[in-house]
Amino acid sequence: MAQEVSEYLSQNPRAAAWVEALRCDGETDKHWRHRREFLLRNAGDLIPGASTEAEEEAAGSGCGAHSRQLQQLVSFSMAWANHVFLGCRYPQKVMDKILSMAEGITVIDAPIHTTRDELVAKKG
């Protein structure tokens, strides 16, 4: 999939610039590569140039909704990356959402985290 993402971005400079602007300071290349894939898979009409100019113009009046959707997508991408790379857990509703949004994304060499509950269960 990484090859597909790179190819897509090379063919869509507006999308490449858009998604690169969402990268966080200090985010490692590995984390960013996977979070970028998460963002692109789930962005839909949020990506500049993904819709027609007429659709973008009509959506201009709903700019607040567009901004909220983008903020939510970025938040979900960060929660997913934090879960995968740092072992963070979130309320079940959030976990279900981010895991369904990440279906098909393969992360190689992701750390394996053991929860407190798993450690306690092993001792019992």
At 73-99, the pLDDT tens digits run: 999 999 999 999 999 999 999 999 999
What's the domain range around 69?
Answer: 2-123
CA distance linking residue 36 with residue 77, whole number of Å: 8
Tell me the pLDDT band of 112, cut-offs 50, 70 and 90: confident
Q: With 90 as the cut, is the pLDDT of residue 8 above it?
A: no
CA distance linking residue 45 with residue 97, whole number of Å: 19
Whether residue 5 contacts residue 36, with contact meaning beta carbons closer than 8 Å, is answered with yes
Q: Burial, 17: exposed, middle or buried (Cβ in 10 Å; 0-12, 13-18, 19+)?
A: exposed
Give long-range contacts, CB 8 A cutoff, 24+ apart: 22-25: 22/74, 22/77, 24/78
* Number of folded domains that form the chain: 1
Indicate if the alpha-carbon torsion angle 68, 71, 73, 79 is positive or negative: negative
Whether residue 109 contacts residue 33, with contact meaning beta carbons closer than 8 Å, is answered with no
CA distance linking residue 69 with residue 91, whole number of Å: 20
Residue ranges in 1-124 assigned as alpha helix (H): 2-11, 13-20, 29-43, 53-59, 63-86, 92-101, 116-123
Which pLDDT tens digit goes with each residue over 54-63? 445 545 555 6
Which pLDDT tens digit goes with each residue over 29-40? 999 999 999 999
